[in-house]
Amino acid sequence: MFQAKHQLIAGLVVALAFAGAAQAQETYKIGISAGLTGYAATVDRAWSDGVQTAVDVLNEKGGVMGRKLEVVIEDNRSNPQEAVTVYRKMVSSDQVNLFSSGCVSAGNAAAAPMVAKSEIPMILCSILPKDVEWAFTTLPPAGFEIEKRFEYLRDKTQIRKVGVLHDPTPYALLQKDVAQKVAAKYGIEVVSTEAYKQEDADLSVQLSKMQSAGAGAVMKIGLGGTTLTAAKNLKQLDSPMLLLTSLEDLAVFKPVAEVLGDKFFFVASPSQVFEAYPDGPLKTAIGQFLDPWKKKFGDRDPNWASRGWDSVMLAAKAIETGKSFEGQAVRENLEKITGFQGTTGVYDMSPTQHQGISSNPFVVAQIIDGQVRIAQ
Amino acid sequence: MTNSPSTTSPEAPGLARPHTRHFGSAAVWALSAAIIGYALVFGGYMATIVAFALIYAVFVSGLNVFMGLTAQVSFGQSAFAAIGGYTSAVLTTTYEWAPLPGMVAGLVFALVAAFLIGFPTLRLKGHYLAMATLAIGLITYEIAVEWESVTQGYLGISGIPPLGIGPFEAVSDRAILSVLSVIVVILAFAVTRIRRSRLGRAFSAVAGSEEAAGALGINVSRYKLVSFLIAAAIASLSGSLFVHVVGYVSPEVFGLHMVILAFTMVYIGGLGTVAGPLIGALIISILPEVFRGMKDYQDLAYGVTMILILIYAPKGIAGVAGALDARRSA
Amino acid sequence: MTAAGTLEVVPPVLDVRGLTARYGHVEALKGVDLTAGRGELVAVLGPNGAGKSTLLRAIMGLIPNQGEVRFLDKSLPRRDPAGAANKGVVLVPEGRGIFGPMTVLENLELGAFAIGRDKAEMERRLNRVFELFPRVKERLKQVAGSMSGGEQQMVAVGRAMMSDPKVLLLDEPSLGLAPRVTGEILDTLGALSASGLPVVLVEQKAPLALKLACRAYLLSLGRIVATINPREVKSHDELAQYYFA
Ligand SMILES: Nc1ncnc2c1ncn2[C@@H]1O[C@H](COP(=O)(O)OP(=O)(O)OP(=O)(O)O)[C@@H](O)[C@H]1O
Ligand SMILES: [Mg+2]
């Protein structure tokens, strides 16, 4: 078996070498496994459009090292089994060179060993699959969103007791653990931790528990309509607690702000508060993305798309550094990227760090009179 | 007419079946073999699709025993696939067991669960049973999500070793496809045997009419339970195969999606037939790929094809083949 | 009820006492008494919805019921149809209960499910059925669902006989059949009872049943309203009186 594996790899390398020589002028294919339908649809459609925007912009400038880029996108229906199938299709039929895949963590994790065996780098929207040296992610570390909220409470309010309200998704669970671990560093105590499900239509039980535990603010971790539910429940309870929620599509937040007004806060990425964001290299980087994005999509929320854009720019950077399109070279050069200014922050990769965003770019924001602004 | 119980006829009433030719059925098997053969030779993503199809063929074979042979409805078979899959996954990763003992442990758990669930629910009839089984599927899904310390919730369990016994490991597409094909053939053979056996007769009597079967001395609830246990064991096997082939498991794998797909496969293939689960699983798995090029019209084309098959082959593909054979031999 | 006093009495093989059954809130059987002894063919008559089928189902234990059913001087458990059938109480259900997709032979073999793999015994019983219904023998390999109604009814009765019953319950075997076939089947039943087998025959076609029966129970709204000696029924009008009473 071992022998056979070696032969297989040797064969693959030979095949790739030939292909490389023969296809020097062929396009460099970027595959996207995205949940265009199913629960990840909002996020993954935005991510995919971000990838496409980046590819269009690079192609207009002549591509990367003279080679044009091409996007191959397949719908994984937000399902891990479908994801394995479409990954496999893009590997063997489309022969993509790199993956910039969406936020269906389970699908990326399920396909990762197979993709690694084919020696194709993947830059993801989701959390990193375990033990896969071919995968990288644009996802900010789980602590960032939490720490920004704690920082805000410490610096701008008297609140020192909070409740944590989270859904059961992997990223939410990671964040919940971080919240419990780092709260003390900010002089804050987590007095209550409650779980809910994405389809829950009432959260008043969890919220009442938090209030009676003495929480002055609710840290909600998780996406979707439950944020509005929480807001309505807080209003019904006539609760004095503040609501601080995770990063999310701005469209979701507008009705929440109408319910809770200035008691509602959320973590925002720099691209969401672009106008108000202080000048600097980050603002410049976002500007480069926002121009073509706005041309094409107008006022659509740029948050997830901006990370899709980053994934392409990271790949281009790795290719140009190594002067090679070959999978192994791209992988190694992705690991060498440091100080790269993306739209979501600065990326510092290393062989042991494939989750590259190293400085916290987020802000805590509010919507006052229909306008998004950085919270004071 | 006399009523003497003694018999005078020296001629034994024939227990042998008439000699029939099975061209239709043979064509179904040949088509299945051709599809698998294509995947074996050309590999590529067809290999992935056919491998998944074969795993589903295993799952659907179990469903077919319960739904086809015994005419009961269960929306909860995914629960037993989940039990098998997660037991295999946890035992081979956290506890570093070999795949085979892990699979056997999964089978035992699935059987225990099926007994505890089946004993009370199989007394229910019709849609009550269906509702109860639906609940079981949903509850198992919830447990897979919530019992994080063991299942790792939505994060899933990765690094599950490939199928293997001792030094042999099925890693390459060909090895995986071969192992799965052998399992599917063994199962088809077993289902043939079951159908002809006393057990199978009892199943089809229960399927025909529970009242008539009961009035003839067949213990209806016991045979329903046996059928349920067989289906659960096969479902558990398919769950284990899935996690070893993919190397990863998360709750979504065994969701309602799985049940809907399996139902489509069993009806398109032919409910209650031996070849139905295999051909149904292969066709339902390949169709979307055939239409993938049509992008936005993929689902529409898939749906139209499905309706056409059900109009022209209401008993499924293997069912139509079997009917042709019956007409030919009559 | 005038006729009851003059009936001859045979020690009962099947003795039903105060049997009641309900579907939800509807009480379909309200304390029915009935007996059938060796060599007796007893008829149960009554209009649609009287509870005739319910009575047979309740005796078998196919539906929840209360009361007592004594069989060969032992009490039958009230909710164990398979147990009852294995002891020798066998029902040919309304609508025959033929397994359509199976062959005639397979149907017959299912009747002798309890004997397992005893081939010699299986053949002995099959031959006995062929004697009762010679036509069935020619059709062994035919799919049962494709046979005519009369043939199916013969298979249904034959299948019941395969279990070697000690008492035979039949629910409207003449339903939907031509008079000639009906006559043939009823003759066979008459012969069976004459050979000693107790038979309980539910029938709507009262004149036919009365020709064979030694006793007839008239069921209405879940109660036995009359027990009739067929030899004392002189005309249709007299019977109609009971129906509309
Ligand atoms: N499964 C059932 N659920 C509810 N009610 C029922 C059911 N079966 C029968 N009944 C009711 O019980 C009563 C007796 O029905 P049963 O079938 O025993 O009548 P029957 O005398 O056999 O009539 P028929 O001559 O039409 O066969 C009827 O009022 C009928 O509507
Ligand atoms: Mg009736």
What pLDDT, in 10s, does the model give residues B106-123? 999 999 999 998 888 887
The answer to whether C6 faces chain B, any CB pair under 8 Å, is no
Q: Which amino acid is at C187?
A: D
Q: Which amino acid is at A75?
A: D
Taking alpha carbons only, the member of B142, B93, B131, B141 closest to residue B254 is B141
**CB hemisphere CA count around B22 (13 angstroms):** 12
Nearest CA-CA distance, residue A2 and chain B, Å: 10
- Per-residue pLDDT tens, chain A, 376 aa: give them: 444 444 544 444 444 444 444 444 689 999 999 999 888 888 899 999 999 999 999 999 999 999 999 999 999 988 888 898 899 889 988 999 999 999 988 899 999 988 998 999 999 999 898 877 999 999 998 899 999 999 999 999 999 999 999 998 888 888 999 999 999 999 999 999 999 988 889 999 999 999 999 999 999 998 888 999 999 999 999 999 999 999 988 888 999 999 999 999 999 998 899 888 888 999 999 999 999 999 999 988 898 999 999 999 999 999 999 999 999 999 999 999 999 999 988 999 999 999 999 889 899 999 998 888 898 8
Chain B, nearest residue to C195 by Cα: B3
What is the spatial distance between Cα C24 and Cα A83, in angstroms, rounded to a whole number?
51
> Contact partners of A by the rule of 3+ C-beta pairs under 8 A?
B
| pLDDT-based confidence at residue C238 (cuts at 50, 70, 90) | low
Question: Ligand 1, closest atom to CA C50?
Answer: 21
Domain span(s) for CATH 3.40.50.2300 in chain A:
22-140+282-347, 142-274+363-374
pLDDT at C243: 61
> Are B9 and C159 within 8 A, CB to CB?
no
Minimum-distance CB partner of C85 among B14, B204, B217: B217
- Per-residue pLDDT tens, chain B, 330 aa: give them: 333 333 333 333 333 344 456 788 888 999 999 999 999 998 888 898 999 999 999 999 999 999 999 988 889 999 999 999 999 999 999 898 999 999 999 999 999 999 998 888 887 776 777 888 888 999 999 999 989 889 988 888 888 888 988 788 888 889 999 999 999 999 999 999 998 888 999 999 999 888 888 888 888 889 999 999 999 999 999 999 999 998 889 998 898 889 999 999 999 999 888 899 999 999 999 988 888 877 778 788 888 888 888 888 888 888 888 888 777 665
Question: Ligand 1, closest atom to CA C94?
Answer: 27
pLDDT at A4: 46
- Residue A1 CB: number of other CB atoms within 10 A? 14
Angle, vertex CA C220, rays to CA C216 and CA C225, nearest 5: 55
Pocket test of ligand 1: the residue of C25, C52, C175 to mutate, having most ligand atoms within 8 Å of its CB, is C52
pLDDT at B312: 86
Tell me which residue has tokens 């690694």.
Answer: A116
Q: Which residues of C touch B8 (CB under 8 A)?
A: 127
H-assigned helices in chain B: 23-42, 44-64, 77-93, 99-121, 126-146, 148-151, 173-196, 198-208, 210-215, 220-246, 256-269, 276-290, 298-312, 316-329
Alpha carbon C146 to its chain's center = 24
Q: Tell me if B179 sits within 8 A of B54, measured CB to CB.
A: no
**CB hemisphere CA count around A227 (13 angstroms):** 28
Q: Which residues of B touch A88 (CB under 8 A)?
A: 44-45, 47-49
Fold of A142-274+363-374: Rossmann fold (3.40.50)
pLDDT at C235: 64
What is the spatial distance between Cα A353 and Cα C123, in angstroms, rounded to a whole number?
79
The predicted model scores a pTM of 0.82
C-alpha dihedral sign at B258, B261, B263, B269? negative
Angle, vertex CA C92, rays to CA C197 and CA C43, nearest 5: 60
Q: Tell me if B22 sits within 8 A of B325, measured CB to CB.
A: yes
* Residue predicted with more confidence, B12 or C199: C199
- What are the two backbone dihedrals, phi and then psi, of residue B113, each rounded to the nearest 5 degrees? -60, -45
Q: Is C44 helix (H, G, I), strand (E, B) or coil?
A: strand
Minimum-distance CB partner of A109 among B153, B158, B171: B158
Q: Tell me if B289 sits within 8 A of B112, measured CB to CB.
A: no
Q: What is the pLDDT of residues C31-75, one digit of tens each?
A: 999 999 998 999 999 888 899 999 999 999 989 999 999 999 889
Q: Structure tokens of B252? A: 């979504």
Minimum-distance CB partner of B246 among A4, A79, A84: A84
The answer to whether C185 faces chain B, any CB pair under 8 Å, is no
> b vs e for C81-99, b when ≥16 Cβ sit within 10 Å of the residue's Cβ?
bbbbbbbbbbbbbbbbbbb
- What are the two backbone dihedrals, phi and then psi, of residue A101, each rounded to the nearest 5 degrees? -95, 160
pLDDT score of C205 more than 90:
no
Tell me which residue has tokens 């049509």.
Answer: B294
Q: Tell me if C217 sits within 8 A of C203, measured CB to CB.
A: no
Cβ contacts from A onto B, under 8 A: 87
Q: Tell me if A56 sits within 8 A of A80, measured CB to CB.
A: no
Q: Structure tokens of B66? A: 């319960």
- Write down the mean pLDDT value for chain C: 87
> Are C85 and B18 within 8 A, CB to CB?
no
> b vs e for B12-28, b when ≥16 Cβ sit within 10 Å of the residue's Cβ?
ebeeeeeeeebebbebb
**Prediction ipTM score:** 0.79
List the beta bridge partners of residue C91: C169
E strand or H helix at C203: strand C199-203
C-alpha dihedral sign at B215, B216, B220, B222? positive
Mutation to test the B interface, candidates C110, C143, C147, C161, most B Cβ within 10 Å:
C110
DSSP 8-state assignment for residue B66: I
Classify strands B168-169 and B164-165 as parallel, antiparallel or unpaired.
Answer: antiparallel
Q: CA B116 → CA B109, B175, B220, C18, distances in Å?
A: 11, 37, 17, 37
Q: What is the pLDDT of residues B168-183, one digit of tens each?
A: 888 888 999 999 999 9
| pLDDT-based confidence at residue C175 (cuts at 50, 70, 90) | confident
H-assigned helices in chain C: 52-60, 81-87, 104-111, 119-132, 134-137, 149-162, 179-194, 206-212, 236-244
Question: Ligand 1, closest atom to CA C29?
Answer: 14
DSSP 8-state assignment for residue A199: T
The answer to whether B130 faces chain A, any CB pair under 8 Å, is no
What is the spatial distance between Cα B184 and Cα B59, in angstroms, rounded to a whole number?
10
Architecture of the domain defined by A22-140+282-347: 3-Layer(aba) Sandwich (3.40)
| pLDDT-based confidence at residue C240 (cuts at 50, 70, 90) | low
Nearest residue CA, atom 26 of ligand 1? C48
DSSP 8-state assignment for residue B254: G
> Are A170 and B146 within 8 A, CB to CB?
no
Q: Which amino acid is at C28?
A: A
> b vs e for A38-54, b when ≥16 Cβ sit within 10 Å of the residue's Cβ?
bbbbbbbbbbbbbbbbb
Largest Cα separation within chain C, whole Å, is 53
Helix B23-42, helix B44-64: angle, nearest 10:
140
What is the spatial distance between Cα A16 and Cα A331, in angstroms, rounded to a whole number?
15
pLDDT at A156: 93
Q: Which residues of C touch B4 (CB under 8 A)?
A: 131
What is the spatial distance between Cα A58 and Cα B259, in angstroms, rounded to a whole number?
44
The answer to whether C123 faces chain B, any CB pair under 8 Å, is yes
In chain C, what are the domains?
Answer: 12-82+204-245 (3.40.50.300)
Q: CA C171 → CA A17, B212, C56, C58, C220, distances in Å?
A: 81, 12, 7, 13, 16
pLDDT at B2: 36
Q: Is A68 helix (H, G, I), strand (E, B) or coil?
A: coil
Ligand 1 cavity residues, CB under 6 Å:
C 23, 26, 28, 46, 48-54, 204
